[in-house]
Amino acid sequence: MKKVIRHRIHTNFASQNQPRLFSANKVRARKYRGFLALFDKKPVTVGDLVRFGCKQMKAADLHDHHFEFSANPLLATAQHLAFHALKIPLEGDPAQYLKRSVSRVQAKRVCGLFEKRIANRMPAAYITSKARYLGNTFYVNRHVLIPRSAMTFHLEDYLNGTHWQNYRVLDLCAGSGCIGITLALLNPNIKVDLVDISEAALRVARRNIKRFSLGDRVKCVRSDVFQRVRGKFDLIITNPPYVSTAEYKDLAQEFSHEPKLALECGTDGLDVVHQILQTASRHLNPQGKLIAEVGSTAAEILKATYPKLKWRWQAYKRPDGSTRRGSVDCIFLIDSVDLPLFGSLDKHKTG
């Protein structure tokens, strides 16, 4: 009995001095231990941690989920997780922090987040409850899509030439509120209604309104599309669900963490978009416009279904102004005067 006790004491003592096993995957567990062993040989920096995380994510063949506008999406993912764990601001130039030394304890904490991203395929923004969108940091959780709209780098373009006195914006299917709130931040004369069918999503939006102190200009409305919307607007902007049932089944595992209600939308993916086109004219001022992101597949369906509508299409745009996918259309703009009158959408169909 004494020998058994001594053996147990020895085993427990030894385990306390071993690096924590972060992963059930033996190969990754060995990689984590190897990285932590570097602390016995040299100082380890934030940049070292980020590069290590990127390498593990690449080896795991991760989807570039919601960092697709970055030059190196997986490096950006690793940096986002590392900065969060190390309490480094996400705003500003990251280069000033990458040469900072980190402790072994800090590195373990960061590696734990790397493994959560890899093993669970959980998007980084849900791990940290933070998402960057056009220079601002928004609160997010699994009740809202992670901000990544293709409209991101078009927003300032949409506001050119507008009148600013009492300019009203309706952000439809608002989710976290990132689009409408960003527009409000771009100009102090804008007033925004954030509309969503999900009360859980609107709780997130309200938190972001408070975060940016916009309670006097931005409000939330729970509504199924236009059902409870009142008044007229100068701009209706929307990133509605537009993924078909078939496409949804083929999405990367990361998307399963996001609310299905905000992604999948019927056989052609356009159930909500059809409703918006049918009713938008009733809620726009004469000089108003409707802007919507629908994705490239849905765009082709809309063009074929409603050839008589005066679509103005735009492709994905990168931060440097170049288009992300060549000439592939994914965002449409229609002036109020060119929208079908309520109930007359079928007149714009083929034939």
Is the pLDDT at 344 greater than 80? The verdict is: no
Is the Cα dihedral 304, 309, 312, 316 positive or negative? negative
Q: What is the average pLDDT across 306-323? A: 75
pLDDT at residue number 60: 95
Q: Are 268 and 212 in contact (CB under 8 A)?
A: no
pLDDT at residue number 223: 98
Is the pLDDT at 15 greater than 80? The verdict is: no
Is the pLDDT at 213 greater than 60? The verdict is: yes
Sketch out the chain's domains with CATH numbers. 2-128 (no CATH), 131-348 (3.40.50.150)
- For residue 265, report the phi and psi dihedrals to the nearest 5 degrees: -150, 60
Q: What is the average pLDDT across 230-236? A: 95
pLDDT at residue number 161: 63
**CA gap 169, 222 in Å, rounded:** 16
Q: What's the whole-model pTM score?
A: 0.87
The band of 345, judged by pLDDT with boundaries at 50, 70 and 90, is confident
Q: What is the average pLDDT across 30-54? A: 96
Is the pLDDT at 7 greater than 50? The verdict is: no
pLDDT at residue number 16: 37
Cβ neighbours, 10 Å, residue 338: 15
Q: What is the average pLDDT across 239-243? A: 94
Residue from 217, 240, 235, 231 nearest 160 by CA:
235
3-state secondary structure the chain: CHHHHHHHHHHHHHHHCCCCCCCCCHHHHHHHHHHHHHHHCCCEEHHHHHHHHHHHHHHCCCCCCCCCCCCCHHHHHHHHHHHHHCCCCCCCCHHHCCCCEECHHHHHHHHHHHHHHHHHCCCHHHHHCEEEECCEEEECCCCCCCCCCCCHHHHHHHCCCCCCCCEEEEEECCCCCHHHHHHHHHCCCEEEEEEECCHHHHHHHHHHHHHCCCCCCEEEEECCCCCCCCCCEEEEEECCCCECHHHHHCCCHHHHHCCHHHCECCCCCCHHHHHHHHHHHHHEEEEEEEEEECHHHHHHHHHHHCCCCCCEEEECECCCCCECCCCCEEEEEEEHHHCCCCCCHHHHCCC
**CA gap 195, 210 in Å, rounded:** 16
Is the pLDDT at 125 greater than 90? The verdict is: yes
State pLDDT tens for residues 128-141: 999 999 889 999 99
State pLDDT tens for residues 66-111: 776 678 999 999 999 999 999 999 988 999 999 999 999 999 999 9
Higher pLDDT, 86 or 17: 86
pLDDT at residue number 323: 58
pLDDT at residue number 12: 38
pLDDT at residue number 314: 81
Q: What is the mean pLDDT of the chain?
A: 87
Residue from 197, 271, 182 nearest 235 by CA:
182
Is the pLDDT at 50 greater than 70? The verdict is: yes
pLDDT at residue number 64: 80
Q: What is the average pLDDT across 171-176? A: 98
